[in-house]
Amino acid sequence: MVVIALALVAASALLVAPNSIGKSGSSRGEGLSAAAQPTGATSGTSAVGQAARWRRPARTTTTTTTGVPADPISPPTPLQPPAAAEGSAVGVQLGMWNDYSDAQRLAVLDKIAAAHLRWVRIDMGWSSFQDRCRSCYNSWYMDRANFVVDAARQRGLKVLVTAWRTPGWANGGAGELAPPTNPADFGSFMAWLAGRFRGRVSAYEIWNEPDSRDFFTGSVGQYAALVRAAYPAVKSGDPDARVVLGGPINNNTDWLRAVYQAGAGGSFDVMATHPYMGPSDLPPETPDLRGDNIYLLTHVAAVHELMRANGDGDKPIWFTEMGWSSHPNDGGEANWDRGVTPQQQAAYTIRAIQLVRSRYPYVTNMILYNERNRATGDVQLDNYGILHRDLSEKPVYTELRSYLSG
């Protein structure tokens, strides 16, 4: 329901402090565990991603509501979906490495294509391709990557690859989340990867949420060095592929400003962010009243202003992860663990697309997290999917298919 205007102003005033709400990380990245590898496959310390989604506890507003909260923001006037165009593309994160059979992988891709989604984002691990040495490549991992990428393309889907996780030989065994000792090693890998997938992968995102210690344990300067090494390397392997800055948690303008200051500005084609809401049950239109709340989708306007100030105002922004988790609340959830109803998940997702298309035309791609519900035991992490665990359709899938078909 819609609350009265006075209550909206009061509620919004509690949400503007950027240090009040946090989401410290999100690995939706996943990979093949050693047990899941084909017979004879060699593994590094792990595959693409095994971390769970975590968020940073913080002083926040509290809720006394049980169940799922009512919608505090009125939906915008319904908009007709614009004609299909590159400037308004919607896609989904595709977790294709761990617990799928090949038949299920194809069934999921069929579902994605049938919903008129146009992109899939796939994590690929440097440590999974080259876990043993600089000149060693794991054929089983390459075979799986080829299968998924080619199957997506056969269904008319474009592919965004998120490349991350360092093999031990490249950083002295410091761990997959630590940067390589020599950024040129990452550059060499990216040149090889872009060359192998030339004409098949449309864009490469350099790491996942590198502003979070849950995903990258190096400094801002070390991340900027990776981006500078990756950009010419990708272009050498595939001149037409776009290089995407690793999307930070939320619309993290402070971190993005530091990335520019560290010299990464000329080394990416696309800016990216992950505008998860904070608290996580807020609707997408929640206003950024003072322009400093990184935990709101609407703070993307400040991201664009930062880009303009650094000469990048003409570059697009992609939301390379976003979404809402559909589950009941008991009233005691932390701000980052609040769920919405399945119907709200559907409505908020469509409204977010409408909002971006009408107000933020420089946001040209929106990648939803994720393709189906997971089974980690974490109720928040497990219920972002647009499909149920058994691949049956959630309301959000049905509404996406209807809206995007227009």
Q: Is residue 241 part of a domain?
A: yes
Q: Is residue 6 part of a domain?
A: no
Q: Is residue 115 part of a domain?
A: yes
- What's residue 28's pLDDT? 47
Q: Is residue 107 part of a domain?
A: yes
* DSSP assignments along 326-390, one per residue: B----S---GGG--B-HHHHHHHHHHHHHHHHHH-TTEEEEEES-SB---SS-HHHHT--SB-TT
- In the chain, the number of structural domains is 1
Q: Is residue 24 part of a domain?
A: no
Q: Is residue 119 part of a domain?
A: yes
Q: State the CB neighbour count (10 A cutoff) for residue 39.
A: 5
pTM, two decimal places: 0.84
Q: Give the mean pLDDT of 315-328.
A: 98
Length of the chain: 406
Q: Is residue 11 part of a domain?
A: no
- What's residue 96's pLDDT? 75
CATH number at residue 378: 3.20.20.80
- What's residue 184's pLDDT? 98
Residue 154 above 50 pLDDT?
A: yes
Domain that holds residue 265: 46-53+72-404
| 221 three-state secondary structure | helix
Per-residue model confidence as pLDDT tens digits over 182-233: 999 999 999 999 999 999 999 999 999 999 999 999 999 999 999 999 999 9
- What's residue 146's pLDDT? 96
Q: Is residue 21 part of a domain?
A: no
Provide the 8-state DSSP code for 249. Answer: B
Tokens of 126: 């440097």
